């Protein structure tokens, strides 16, 4: 069967039955019947770990007064965003794994909501890391002014800007898509995203493609540019300084941040590159799924093990629990 025929097959299934116009057929994750339960267990474990680890980090920073510092308060945006990304993606994925392909229905409204939060998660992953890089720049390059610059008001403004920019940009992105009429009912993707939604229309999607391209370019250029410039200035300060404690602190905090950023950047670029090769459509779908799921469980591990203060507090909490038992 050709690829065209296989893509039309679900539409034919839908045509053989009477379904409301707002119901779509979601492709979901392609797994064999034998591998469906192992895949379900794997993603369930990932989801449970992601939720426990990220909620645990937020709770730890909230309860420990010594962690009530701008760096850690800004960091709380990252696990919060990971919780959003995992929750909007994995529960629906688990449901689809245990559901046969012809029965993976989703309403148009649910699909739009999932696409919105999926793109907000992806965008906020960059904007949050950008404001965290700014915090590290001020702490290392302007340590004497750190307390006057990174006030509670500034932390709130930075956090609101990271989320606000993502919500506005994604809102416009999805707004341009939901204005289109629909002539198809199949989502050829493991989850709903903007591209899958505007492909449901038979109208011209030139504006959607142009805005999507501008959105992606602006996000990546501003993200890469600001973080590269920040680390360049930090490197210059560290190389010109003879303060070993400053250099050690910069290396520890910046290496953790940079590792997380490279993971996010690598996942994003992999999906973008694979989009240019239709022959690797299945690989792109799996990569886009893993690119959304993997960082949500890796981020708390990286920050929990690499950040000395957080690691010490985690060990202290476990020690208290052990003594109490």
What does the alpha-carbon distance between residue 241 and residue 235 come to, in Å, rounded to a whole number?
A: 10
Q: Per the structure block, which two tokens stand in for 270? A: 């992999």
CA distance 299 to 123: 16
CA atoms of 220 and 122, how far apart (whole Å): 11
Q: Name the 3-class secondary structure at 62.
A: helix
Query: What is each CA distance from 118 to 11, 75, 104, 299, 311, in whole angstroms?
Result: 25, 20, 19, 17, 30
Q: What is the 3-state secondary structure (H, E, C) of 244-277?
A: HHHHHHHHHHHHHHHHHHHHHHHHHHHHHHHHCC
pLDDT in tens, the chain (325 residues): 444 444 444 444 444 444 556 889 998 888 888 888 999 999 999 999 999 999 988 988 888 888 888 988 999 999 999 999 999 999 999 999 988 888 899 999 999 999 999 999 999 999 999 999 999 899 888 888 999 999 999 999 999 999 999 999 999 999 999 999 988 889 988 899 998 999 999 999 999 999 999 999 999 999 999 999 999 998 888 888 777 776 777 777 788 888 889 988 988 888 888 877 778 888 888 888 888 888 888 888 887 766 666 767 767 766 666 666 5
Work out the number of other CB atoms within 10 angstroms of the CB of residue 34.
7
Q: Give the model's pLDDT for residue 7.
A: 43
Which of 266, 273, 252 is CA-nearest to residue 295? 266
Residue pair 118/91 in contact by the 8 Å Cβ criterion: no
Q: Strands of 186-187's sheet, edge to edge?
A: 105-107, 23-26, 186-187
Looking up tokens 């559901």 gives 99
Global pTM value: 0.86
The pLDDT value given to residue 235: 86
Give the HSE-up count for residue 220: Cα atoms under 13 Å, Cβ half-sphere. Answer: 14
Distance, in Å, from the CA atom of 58 to the CA atom of 76, rounded to the nearest integer, reads 6
Stretch (H or E) spanning 165: helix 152-178
């Amino acid at each position: 069967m050709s690829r065209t025929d296989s893509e039309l097959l679900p539409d034919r299934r839908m045509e053989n039955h009477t379904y409301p116009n707002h119901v779509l057929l979601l492709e979901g994750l392609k797994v064999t019947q034998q591998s469906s339960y192992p895949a379900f267990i794997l993603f369930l474990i990932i989801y449970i770990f992601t939720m426990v680890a990220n909620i645990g980090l937020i709770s730890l920073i909230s309860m420990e007064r010594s962690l009530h510092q701008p760096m850690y308060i800004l960091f709380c945006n990252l696990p919060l965003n990971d919780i959003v990304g995992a929750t909007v993606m994995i529960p629906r994925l688990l449901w689809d794994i245990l559901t046969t392909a012809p029965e993976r229905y989703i309403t148009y409204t649910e699909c739009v909501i999932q696409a919105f939060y999926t793109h907000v998660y992806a965008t906020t992953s960059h904007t949050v890391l950008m404001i965290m890089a700014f915090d590290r720049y001020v702490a290392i390059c302007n340590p004497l002014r750190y307390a006057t610059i990174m006030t509670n008001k500034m932390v709130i403004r930075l956090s609101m800007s990271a989320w606000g920019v993502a919500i506005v940009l994604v809102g416009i992105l999805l707004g341009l898509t939901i204005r289109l009429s629909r002539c198809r009912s199949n989502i050829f993707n493991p989850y709903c995203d903007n591209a899958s939604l505007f492909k449901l229309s038979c109208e011209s999607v030139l504006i959607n493609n142009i805005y999507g391209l501008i959105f992606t370019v602006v996000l990546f250029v501003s993200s890469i540019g600001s973080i590269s410039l920040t680390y360049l200035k930090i490197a210059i300060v560290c190389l010109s300084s003879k303060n070993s404690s400053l250099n050690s602190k910069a290396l520890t905090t910046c290496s953790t941040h940079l590792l997380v950023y490279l993971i996010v950047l690598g996942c994003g670029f992999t999906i973008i590159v694979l989009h240019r090769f239709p022959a690797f459509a299945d690989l792109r779908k799996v990569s886009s799924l893993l690119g959304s799921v993997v960082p949500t469980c890796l981020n708390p591990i990286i920050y929990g093990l690499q950040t000395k203060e957080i690691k010490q507090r985690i060990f202290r909490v476990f020690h208290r629990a052990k003594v109490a038992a």
